[in-house]
């Protein structure tokens, strides 16, 4: 056995010695036994598996931690979470004013080990001298984001992997104080990561002190429900409300959503029963993300059964929202709206509300914000209502920090309709806001589809699409980005390129990011970037038309989108 193999086995043995989880201990011990065996057919794959698990650490960044639950530093497990909790505690203690005790509120969803990781974090942070408050049960991510501000905590931790595959879990970090409950951004991520690494290099997890934590009172959830219910307009009579189907996608959204709807005066929706209770196995979907093909099939079937006007879907931790409406031309009779369609609809609603609230007071003020990969349509809305617009890097850690924010969204089904309540995307309040709009439209004898037509008539047609390339080797993504930079295209799909903006060194008021923005003739645009949470290269396509009738505008924008899609697929193949 080579020296490298000896080092690898020694590191694995050291990890095993401090792992408190029987499942991952058994898994790692089996790998070590196989790697040490004389049977090369067993030892070679075991050694390769060990090498991957111990090749590095699961990186802590602005998205926190996220990865597959398994043994080793390159996976999510109780050792890694313990080190993260101790490192975050050290960071909070270092930042605390003299004579004060920092605090953290911790939440968790229904994924595998979420409750275990949350309790470990609470005990370890309390043992380090931080006041630790654990939410009373599994709850949506927006409740945790709200609780950071509501409890005036120094930080928040949410244990969730959102819509990732079933065996993943993650660790989101929020900061209070001057960060107002937003997720961490640079330089806080690097500073916390440095503390975590120091803990990993110097501390033995079983020796880390554990302490007594507090359990948050139910009044925290009550306060979230009351504040979120205000995202609705006055509720219409029961007989004028849309017939709604709701799915929680095997997540934690329904108990909280049901209370919010009741408080706001809406009748209970029809449920997709097979998906309403939390289930970490996500048995009815291949991938628990409403954007994925097939994920909403049960919702469509239920909606056909009951003649629904609207489908509302949350992802498993209920920070994202998907909307579907009846569409006779769709194979299932219903069509899921794109994230941009929902975002522009809610953005228009926010602009109208701000204008109505400001009448007689000198005009509306505030900012509409979205990620730079989301539709340029939101900027058009902002201009039409004399509001500010801010384009940010991807993620609500950036969107939520837009000054004077009225509404923010990103095309990946994330919406913030009530920034005075929390500073993260919230699929519950956004769902209520959309339902409130649908109810007003129904009272006026109109549908959501009619409203989408009205948008195109007023602002033009903004069509959007996405190419998502999943890879097994991240070097493929690096190679494609390098090739596009070295050989920029002069045209894509027959549409002339006006200019290419490389955000690698920052652009305008945007910090540096591995993003290429391609501006083309006719208001078309292409954005290319690596995913921040998955092994994917993402390409975002946007086209525009304001010529002719609503149908003609849609047809022209769609034709340009089809051409861009074909052109970009050839470029990134």
In this predicted model, what pLDDT tens digit does every residue of 534-550 receive, in sequence order? 788 999 999 999 999 99
Polymer length in residues for the chain? 573
Measured in degrees and rounded to the nearest 5, phi and psi for residue 221 equal -70, -40
The stretch 521-546 carries a mean pLDDT of 92
pLDDT of residue 532: 73
pLDDT of residue 1: 42
Q: CB under 8 Å to 549, separation ≥6 — which residues?
A: none
What is the per-residue pLDDT across 240-283, written as a single tens digit (0 to 9) for each? 899 999 999 999 999 999 999 999 999 999 999 999 999 999 99
pLDDT of residue 2: 43
Question: Is residue 195 within 8 Å of residue 90, measured between CB atoms?
Answer: yes
Distance CA 185, CA 192 (A): 11
Taking CA atoms, 350 is separated from 60, 145, 396, in Å, by 35, 21, 18
Distance CA 1, CA 10 (A): 13
Q: What percent of the chain has pLDDT over 90?
A: 89
Q: CB under 8 Å to 202, separation ≥6 — which residues?
A: none
pLDDT of residue 362: 64
What would the two tokens of residue 29 be? 């011990």
Distance CA 289, CA 286 (A): 9
For the ranges 97-101, 313-317, 358-362, 451-455, which has the lowest average pLDDT? 358-362
pLDDT of residue 30: 96
Other CB atoms within 10 Å distance of the CB of residue 325: 22
Model confidence at 361: pLDDT above 70: no
Catalytic entry in 121, 154, 162, 429: 162
Measured in degrees and rounded to the nearest 5, phi and psi for residue 462 equal -105, 105
For the ranges 36-45, 128-137, 366-375, 515-524, which has the lowest average pLDDT? 36-45
Model confidence at 396: pLDDT above 90: yes
Peptide bond into 449 cis (omega under 30): no
Domains, the chain, in order of start with CATH, read 1-55 (no CATH), 59-217 (3.40.120.10), 236-327 (3.40.120.10), 339-436+445-457 (3.40.120.10), 460-572 (3.30.310.50)
Strand residue runs (E) in 295-412: 310-314, 321-326, 334-336, 367-371, 388-392, 405-410
- For CA atoms 322, 327, 330, 331, the dihedral sign is positive
Residue 156 binned pLDDT confidence (cut-offs 50, 70, 90): very high
Token match 């509404």: residue? 407
Taking CA atoms, 516 is separated from 138, 186, 320, 394, 484, in Å, by 39, 21, 26, 13, 9
Distance CA 368, CA 379 (A): 8
Measured in degrees and rounded to the nearest 5, phi and psi for residue 214 equal -95, 155
Residue 236 binned pLDDT confidence (cut-offs 50, 70, 90): confident
Model confidence at 473: pLDDT above 90: no
Q: What percent of the chain has pLDDT over 70?
A: 99
Residue 145 binned pLDDT confidence (cut-offs 50, 70, 90): very high
Residue 509 binned pLDDT confidence (cut-offs 50, 70, 90): confident
For the ranges 65-69, 369-373, 419-423, 531-535, which has the lowest average pLDDT? 531-535
What is the per-residue pLDDT across 295-334, written as a single tens digit (0 to 9) for each? 999 999 999 999 999 999 999 999 999 999 999 999 999 9
For the ranges 115-119, 195-199, 435-439, 511-515, which has the lowest average pLDDT? 511-515
pLDDT of residue 18: 97
Most confident of 57-71, 359-373, 513-527: 513-527
Model confidence at 53: pLDDT above 80: yes
Is 162 among the residues known to form the active site? Answer: yes
pLDDT of residue 240: 82
Q: Give the pTM.
A: 0.95
Of the candidates 365, 288, 287, 282, the one whose C-alpha atom is nearest the C-alpha of residue 319 is: 288
Distance CA 44, CA 562 (A): 47
pLDDT of residue 238: 80
Distance CA 215, CA 122 (A): 10
Residue 3 binned pLDDT confidence (cut-offs 50, 70, 90): very low
Residue 358 binned pLDDT confidence (cut-offs 50, 70, 90): confident
Summary mean pLDDT of the chain: 95
Beta bridge partners of 416: 408
Model confidence at 121: pLDDT above 60: yes
Measured in degrees and rounded to the nearest 5, phi and psi for residue 89 equal -60, -45
Model confidence at 70: pLDDT above 50: yes
The stretch 493-516 carries a mean pLDDT of 93
Q: What is the dihedral of CA 215, 218, 219, 221, to 10 degrees?
A: 100
């Amino acid at each position: 056995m080579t020296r490298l193999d000896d080092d690898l086995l020694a590191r694995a043995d050291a990890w095993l010695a401090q792992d408190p989880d029987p499942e991952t201990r058994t898994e790692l011990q089996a790998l070590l036994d196989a790697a040490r065996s004389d049977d090369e057919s067993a030892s070679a794959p075991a050694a390769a598996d060990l090498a991957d698990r111990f090749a590095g650490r699961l990186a802590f960044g602005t998205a926190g931690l996220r990865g597959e639950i398994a043994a080793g530093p390159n996976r999510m497990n109780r050792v890694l979470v313990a080190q993260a909790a101790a490192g975050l505690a050290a960071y909070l203690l270092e930042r605390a004013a003299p004579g004060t005790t920092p605090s953290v509120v911790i939440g968790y969803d229904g994924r595998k080990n979420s409750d275990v990781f949350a309790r470990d974090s609470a005990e370890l942070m309390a043992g380090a001298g931080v006041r630790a408050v654990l939410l009373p049960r599994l709850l949506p991510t927006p409740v945790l984001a709200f609780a950071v501000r509501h409890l005036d905590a120094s930080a928040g931790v949410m244990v969730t992997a959102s819509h990732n595959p079933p065996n993943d879990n993650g660790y989101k970090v929020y900061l209070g104080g001057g960060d107002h409950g937003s997720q961490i951004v640079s330089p806080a991520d690097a500073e916390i990561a440095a503390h975590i690494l120091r803990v990993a290099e110097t501390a033995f997890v079983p020796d880390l002190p554990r302490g007594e934590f507090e359990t948050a009172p139910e009044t925290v959830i009550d306060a979230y429900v009351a504040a979120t219910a205000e995202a609705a307009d006055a509720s219409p009579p029961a007989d004028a409300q849309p017939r709604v189907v709701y799915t929680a996608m095997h997540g934690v959204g329904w108990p909280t959503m049901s209370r919010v709807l009741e408080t706001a005066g809406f009748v209970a929706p029809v449920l997709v029963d097979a998906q309403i209770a939390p289930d970490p196995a996500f048995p009815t979907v291949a991938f628990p993300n409403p954007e994925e093909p097939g994920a909403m099939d049960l919702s469509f079937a239920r909606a056909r059964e009951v003649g629904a006007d609207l489908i509302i879907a949350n992802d498993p931790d209920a920070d994202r929202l998907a909307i579907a409406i009846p569409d006779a031309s769709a194979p299932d009779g219903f069509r899921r709206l794109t994230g941009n369609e929902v975002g522009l609809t809610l953005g228009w609603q926010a602009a109208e509300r701000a204008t109505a609230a400001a009448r007689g007071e000198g005009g509306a003020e505030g900012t509409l914000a979205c990620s730079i990969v989301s539709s340029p349509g939101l900027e058009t809305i902002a201009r039409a209502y004399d509001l500010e617009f801010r384009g940010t890097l991807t993620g609500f850690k950036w969107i939520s920090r837009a000054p004077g924010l009225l509404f923010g969204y990103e095309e990946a089904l994330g919406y913030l309709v009530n920034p005075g309540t929390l500073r993260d995307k919230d699929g519950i309040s956004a769902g209520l806001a959309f339902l409130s709009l649908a109810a007003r439209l129904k009272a006026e004898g109109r549908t959501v589809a009619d409203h989408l037509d009205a948008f195109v008539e007023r602002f033009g047609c903004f069509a959007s699409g996405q190419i998502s390339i999943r890879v097994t080797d991240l070097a493929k993504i690096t190679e494609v980005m390098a090739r596009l930079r070295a050989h920029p295209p002069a045209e894509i799909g027959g549409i002339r390129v006006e200019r290419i903006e490389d955000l690698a060194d920052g652009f305008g008021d945007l910090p540096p990011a591995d993003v290429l923005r391609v501006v083309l003739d006719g208001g078309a645009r292409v954005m290319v970037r690596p995913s921040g949470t998955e092994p994917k290269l993402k390409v975002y396509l946007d086209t525009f038309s304001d010529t002719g009738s609503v149908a003609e505008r849609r047809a022209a924008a769609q034709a340009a989108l089809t051409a861009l899609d074909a052109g970009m697929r050839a470029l990134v193949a």
